[in-house]
Each structure stands twice: as structure tokens, then as C-alpha cells.
Structure 1
């Protein structure tokens, strides 16, 4: 059973669709043959001359397929509309009732509307007979005079749905019901691997180190998953190679900087101070670059982390040194991640908020299956055109500021890298009351 299911699961979408269509056609035909065999051919509704005579003569007879409506009136019925009369038929009815022709009336519609009638296709002037017995497929009005009053028998109005139409509707309904399980199975078989594929691809987009897309489902999805996994591997190798190269260059620059600093010791004081300032700035840039490279080296270790507890420790440390950092909210907020990397992320955001806003307020809460953290400051905010570039490495809102008044433009880049490594997102927005708001959202554990 498992092997058969695996073979069916490996079929292409085209093959699956073709098989479902063929199976639906077979099921519909089986239902139709079953109904035809069970019900037989539909009988056209008609009334015999003998049935009219038995009804008017009040004679015992078997239940009629189309019972006649009997009424009594003081005057005989009159011919109107599409009704016509035939003297031979009237005389035949009078003989069967054993009364004079003057005491009998017989009107009928000559047309045969029934598509299933064995007499369909006759000319209007032909009289329908079966074994010399007149039969009437449409409206019939017959009457006999008895004791000065007229007994009238006429066919009832045609129903909205004829028996054969009801059978056709039953056939179509049962065929549709029989197709529902097959359609449900087909839709589930097609959409389930697609949804799994979309979720896996989305995880890769949020976290490049996420597991590869499962190579299962229809042949088309398997080919797509294989191509996506190959692309993921190539991108990971490319990023790792470039990151390692940047780290190696930054690390190797320390040696020539150290030699320059040693040789400049004998230079005159004004020149030595300027060169030493440049050397210190280069060292800070190298240290920041190495830190950025380390932040992109993702750790495979993932453990449950309580963001509320982690943020609480950071806020307590900031308050111990007199920095204006506060936090709001209660209760655990569990996510899966690296506690050290997450601490570095929020430390960078706190440092930026203190440097440019003076004070920082942090709030965290559950949100739609995830955890949202807001870091707000009271500073001037950011220019709208710079918000989109703020996460670019080495991008600074004020290029003229020195190392003492601002960083190197790597804090937000590192924060975004860590957030994305945890399957989260980070976004900036200016507050309506002034200041900047950084919003981080992580999937809940």
C-alpha cells in the first residue's frame, strides 16, 4: 500500500489531472448505468379511451398512471384554446358509456409533446391509437349528462417536472455527489505538496540556513525543489566565501597598522598625533568589520529563549550604569534561537537609541503566532529617504560625523542579519510623537 501511494505521489500534475478526469468519467457513467438499470425506460403520460369511460361511468378500475379530475356542473364543457373534437372518438365514448352521442362531450389536444412518446413525430391530423385503442398524451376533457347535470372528467395540469426529468435530475445529482470525494482527494493531493513547498521556500527566504525544501510530491514540484536546493547551496557557498574573504582582509590589516603605529613613534608630535588618530579610526573600522563578519557566521545551536527575560537582563544592566532604558510588559515570550546573538541584536538597538535619542523604551508582546519587540527612542528620527538604506553596511545617516559622534554604520546591519538568521524581520519607522521606532518580529517557539 505504501509503495503504491509513493508511486502515485510521484506522478506529474498532468498525469494526475488526466487520471482524475478519466476516473470521474467512469464514475459518472457507472451511476448513469445503475439508474437506467434500476428505473428502466420512462413511461410517457397518456390516457386511454377505456380509462375515460371507466371514470365517467363510475366503474371499478385499476389506479390510473395519470388520474382524471372529476367534477359536476350544470352545463356541459365547451371547446376552447387548443382543444379539438373528433366525431368518431365521441361516438366511441358514447358506445362505451351506453348513452346517446348527444349526452357525451370529448375534447382533446391533438399535439403529442412527450419526447419519449412512441408516437412522437406523427402529423397533427393523425389520431393516436394503440391496439385500436385511442390514447391521448395531452389534455383531455370528457363529460356525460346524468340526471340533468354533467359529470366532467379532465386530465390534471402537467407537473412542473415530469417523472423522466426528475430521474435526470437524480442522475446528475448522484453523479455530482459521487465526484465530490474524488474532487476533494484531487485538490488535496495537488495543493498539499504545493503548500509544503511554499512554506519551505518561505523559511529559506527568512532563514538561509533553514532545512532544504523537501523533494517530494509531483514530478514538477520535485524538479523545482531540486533547483531551489541547488540555488540555496550555491548562495550559501558564495556568501560564506565572500564573508570569509572580508574577515581575512580585515584581520590581515592589523599587522601593517601595527608597523605603522610603531614607526610613527619617532615622528614629530603634530604629525604623530594625526597619524595615530587615523590609525585608531582604522582599527575601529577593522574591529567593526570583523564583528560584522562574525555576526553573519550563523550558529546551528537553537534553544528556547525567553525574550522577556533576556531583555530584562539587558535593561537592568543599562540601568545599573545610569542609562535611561525602560521596559514594559509581563509574562514569558518564548522563541527558538541563540541567546548571545539575540542579546547583541538588542544591545545594538539600545546603543543606537541612547546615542541618537537620549532615552529608550522597550515593549514586547505576542502577536499573531509570533513575538513582536518595539525599541523606541525620543530622538529626531530618520529622514524618510534614509530609512530604506539604513540596513546597508557602512551606510550612515550623517556621513560627516566622526567616530566619537557616531558609529560606522554596521549596528543596524548586524541587527538585521541576526533577526533574519532567526526567521524574523526588523523594520524602522518614525514615531508620530517624535523619535524612531524599531520593530522586530520573531516566530514563536
Structure 2
């Protein structure tokens, strides 16, 4: 049944949840209403006051409790209270004493007799000739040991019926929390998995397929994403294979050209052979670029150890590569592809900037790898163009000043395949920095 519920549309899932929550809350409210005793009446009759002064306990627990105390002086009215000789006389009669030995003060009622539809006498509702004091009241009777005084306690900030309503609300809310949590979890988990699959697809067209689970809308979106991924992968494979095939097939006519030019005069032969060698280098770089788009299996890669190894190998052949701040950092990836990425950045820094300074820092879940040089940098409007295929820092095609302009293109493709970003930044003090950021 739960599986069938999850396959419903979000509209029906939400509607069913609201109906279930409404029925559950109403059931809890009815249960509490029937099981709990009703609150006591919030008033005192004149007879209740007389019994309390005479020392008789409340017979009806629903009646408002009166507090009793003994004091030496007669009780005085509080601000807003008044007295009525008729009520005082009735109270003295019930107590069997004279009105002079009795005090009675009360706050007049402003509710027009509610909940009783009787008349008001001096602001006090009357029922069957007996005053009903809904507001605060103080009464006292003179005794041999002083004055015996009773009074209604001050109204609490939260009354009994308010506490009961609050209790109903809290119990209903707590009962609905597991239901709401289960619904939110069942609804958000497929969406989260779908978002993760979309992120993986953005970094790697060959990423695992999106799960087709959850509500009807999420299943449909997953199917569309998987179909798009299949079409995209087929398109990329077709274009990559075509580029590789063209680059490979060009080797044969180039070999024939090189063979036939051997009989040409020396000045012409040297120029044509130079062009042939440049075309061979471009073909080799293109094939390498195509191969570089396909990374191998992922495994934990220690970037700090990778940087130290590259710097050591470069130092052995006399290239100006040095290490700066290197912190331990391990990421999942293809070791060979990552080494190729860093090596391309180092080659560019040494070729165009005179040296390469490597640093590696980890902060707030982000791994930052930087390769800095001491070159002139590049114009701000040309920074992004440097990642385009066959785009070089040196606009000439002289092979002595570098490759053919695929190093940064390959480096960015590998970085994106590992969920990283690669950017170029001009330093204020001079030079260019290639910044590789893994994580957020």
C-alpha cells in the first residue's frame, strides 16, 4: 500500500496527507473531549462564600476554590471593587451574625448576566435570588481570634480551558509529527536522488542513470533525464569517434607528402617538412584530447603526494617548479587523468610564465589547488578564450614556444569530469594563476 501511495502524483499525496492529518487531529480532539472532565465553573455563589467563612468545605469540586486566611484588621476593598448592603446583609444572615461584623466587596460583572440570562443587581448576575460572583471578590467575618477572610484567587495568566485547548493542540501536533515526517521524507528522497543524478550528468555524461522512483512526476522526470542522457552519450560518442577517426586517417596522406617531398629542393623541402611536423603534432594532440575525455575508474587520490611527485620529477630535469603551502588532501578520481591535468597546468606555467609554484589548501570542505607563474598574464577579456581548443597564449604557431593550444581544454574537461572547476586569474603583483577547486 505504501508503494502504491508513493507512485501517486504529488497532488494526490498531499491531498491524502491533509485528509489523514485532519481525521487524526479530530479523533484526538474528540477522544480528549470525552475522556477529560469538564472545567469547574468560574464563579462563586453567595452560599459558597458563607460556607467557606463558616469553615465548610466545598461540596462541588467544580466550584471555584476560595482561599482562606486570618488577619487582625477588617478586609479592605481593592481598586475597582464595590460593596452592596443587601448582599452583606444576606451573607450575615447565612452566617448568623450582624451585618456590622461582615464585609463583602466584589468587582462588578460586565457581561450582562452571561452565562445566565437573569437580571443584574449592582453589577452582579442574580439566579433564583442569589448573587453569582464571576469576578474577584473579598469577604470577611469578625471572630474572637480576628477576622476570617476568604477571597477568590487572582485570575491566572492561562485559565483552565485555555490549558486544555493548549493541551489538545500540542497532543494533536505531536501526533501529526511522525506522519508529516514520513510524508516529507518519502517526497524529498526521490527529489534529492534526482537532483544528485542531474549533477552527476552535468559532470559526466556516462554517469549512472537517474533512479525512476517516487511520485508520478519524479518518475516521469527521471525517465526524461535518462532518455536525454542516453541521447547525449550517443551524440558525444559519435562526435568523439568521428574526430578520432579523422585525425587518425590524416596520418596516411601526411606520410605520403613527407615521402614525396624528399625529392624537392632543399629550401622547399625544409619548409614543407616543418608544416608536416606541425600537422602531425596537431593530430597527435587531437587524438590525445579525444582520449583524455574518457577517464578511468575512480579511486582515492592523494593530491599532496601527486604534487610532490610532479615537482620532484620536474626538478630532476631542471625545470623551475617549486612547492609552496601543501596540505594533505584526498579526493576520489582517476589518478592518470588528474596527473595529466596538473602536468598540463605546470607545462603552461613554465612555458609562458617562466616557473610554476604549486600550492594545495583545504578549507570548509573545499580543496583548492593553485599553479602560479611569473609571466605577463593574459588580458581580462581573453581569459575564458584560453580554454577553447587550439587557443594559445602565444598567438603564433611556433612550436618552440609551446603546444598547439589543447592543454587547458583537456585540463578543464578532466576537471569537470571530476566535479571540479578550473579558472585562470591574473595576479595583482603579476603573473597568472590556474585555480582548481574541488568541492563546494
TM-score normalised by length of structure 1: 0.84
CA separation in 2, counterparts of 1:318 and 1:79? 96
Match in the other structure for 2:203: 206
Secondary structure of residue in 2 paired with 1:11: coil
Q: 1:183 aligns with which of 174, 180, 185?
A: 180
**Residue 431, structure 1, aligned to residue 427, structure 2:** yes
CA separation in 2, counterparts of 1:143 and 1:306? 89
Match in the other structure for 1:360: 356
Match in the other structure for 2:96: 98
Contact 1:69 1:155 (C-alpha < 8 Å) held by counterparts: no
CA separation in 1, counterparts of 2:78 and 2:333? 94
Contact 2:320 2:354 (C-alpha < 8 Å) held by counterparts: yes
Structure 2 matches for 1:282-431, cutoff 5 A?
Answer: 282-296=279-293, 298-328=294-324, 333-369=329-365, 371-431=367-427
Secondary structure of residue in 1 paired with 2:185: helix
CA spacing shift, 1:274–1:35, aligned 2, 3 Å: same
Contact 1:77 1:143 (C-alpha < 8 Å) held by counterparts: no
Secondary structure of residue in 1 paired with 2:211: coil
CA separation in 2, counterparts of 1:81 and 1:372? 74
Cα shift at 1:134: 4.5
Structure 2 matches for 1:23-422, cutoff 5 A?
Answer: 23-56=20-53, 58-62=54-58, 65-70=64-69, 81=80, 83=82, 85=84, 87=86, 89-101=87-99, 104=102, 106=104, 108-109=106-107, 111=109, 113=111, 118-119=115-116, 121-125=117-121, 128=125, 134-144=131-141, 153-296=150-293, 298-328=294-324, 333-369=329-365, 371-422=367-418
TM-score normalised by length of structure 2: 0.85
Secondary structure of residue in 2 paired with 1:389: helix
CA separation in 2, counterparts of 1:164 and 1:409? 80
CA separation in 1, counterparts of 2:429 and 2:126? 96
Contact 1:69 1:156 (C-alpha < 8 Å) held by counterparts: no
Secondary structure of residue in 2 paired with 1:352: helix
Q: Which moved more, 1:222-231 or 1:13-22?
A: 13-22
Cα shift at 1:67: 0.8
Cα displacement string for residues 169-195 of structure 1 (whole angstroms, at most 9, x for unaligned residues): 222222222223333333333333322
Contact 1:84 1:110 (C-alpha < 8 Å) held by counterparts: no
Cα shift at 1:240: 1.6
Higher relative contact order (CA 8 A, sep 6+): 1
Secondary structure of residue in 1 paired with 2:408: helix
Contact 1:110 1:124 (C-alpha < 8 Å) held by counterparts: no
CA separation in 2, counterparts of 1:71 and 1:199? 76
What RMSD over aligned residues (CA atoms) do the two structures have, in Å? 3.4
Q: Unpaired runs of 5+ in structure 2?
A: none
Cα displacement string for residues 233-262 of structure 1 (whole angstroms, at most 9, x for unaligned residues): 211211221122222222222333333334
Contact 1:389 1:395 (C-alpha < 8 Å) held by counterparts: yes
CA spacing shift, 1:346–1:160, aligned 2, 3 Å: closer
CA separation in 2, counterparts of 1:190 and 1:267? 75
CA separation in 1, counterparts of 2:202 and 2:409? 17
CA separation in 1, counterparts of 2:38 and 2:396? 95
Cα shift at 1:131: 6.5
Q: Which moved more, 1:324-333 or 1:285-294?
A: 324-333
Contact 1:104 1:143 (C-alpha < 8 Å) held by counterparts: yes
Cα displacement string for residues 92-144 of structure 1 (whole angstroms, at most 9, x for unaligned residues): 434323334565555555537599x651x444359755566543323444454
Aligned length: 436
CA separation in 2, counterparts of 1:164 and 1:217? 44
Contact 1:310 1:343 (C-alpha < 8 Å) held by counterparts: yes
CA separation in 2, counterparts of 1:143 and 1:331? 84
CA spacing shift, 1:147–1:346, aligned 2, 3 Å: closer
Cα shift at 1:380: 1.8
Cα displacement string for residues 297-317 of structure 1 (whole angstroms, at most 9, x for unaligned residues): x14433444444444443333
Cα shift at 1:392: 1.0
CA spacing shift, 1:52–1:434, aligned 2, 3 Å: same
CA separation in 1, counterparts of 2:225 and 2:159? 60
Match in the other structure for 2:3: 6
Cα shift at 1:423: 3.0
